[in-house]
Amino acid sequence: MRNILRFKELFEKLEMVTTNWSIVSNEGSFEKKEDNGYLVFNKDGIFSIIYNKKGEESRIEFYTNKDKSSDKKSVCECKITTSAGSDRSKKGFDDVNMNNIGDIIVTFFDYCDLEKSEKNTIDKFLMGFTKSVKDVLKSDDKDQLPPSFNMFVKYLNDISKNSNSLKLDPDNYDFSNIVNKFINYLKSTK
């Protein structure tokens, strides 16, 4: 009976939002499945958006303050973490604002290799990602969200109201269709 109760405690930490996206209250308490995304509350005040792909994870990490980041300069980092736990690629942001929200989104989508994915895979990713971002604001742990994530969501909401407000770097042309789809999903999941 004790084992059943312990299993129930672990199970309650993972909330399925869609078939491929979940909200998790403790990163160490679950096994990540390939081609699935997770919004993870960490007891150290770090909030992560993770997309698990073959042999590595694409992540956006939101911090309560810059001291918690790996470079001690960022409130938000996008990175690719290998199965060995090292970062293969990383880009930090010292602030989350309207001027860099497009860069954060495109960097994460790039690290998830969305531009190489098939249309149905992209749609499934974007629908689950969008719904999860909205649902995490309703979770029991929402008070633990870092201010940088709250600003991220605020700017996403602003963008969904006025799609002309998102400025993408011309080098990110490959992602303009994916970002436009993402904005349309944001508008439709209010």
* 72-89 residue pLDDT tens: 999 999 999 998 888 999
> Rounded to 5 degrees, what are φ and ψ at 160?
-65, -25
> Rounded to 5 degrees, what are φ and ψ at 62?
-110, 130
Structural domains of the chain, count = 1
For helices 147-161 and 176-188, give the axis angle rounded to 10 degrees: 90
Structural domain for 121, as ranges: 2-188
Longest dimension (CA), the chain: 59
Per-residue pLDDT averaged across 150-154, rounded? 92
pLDDT, averaged across the chain: 85
Indicate the pTM of the whole model. Answer: 0.86
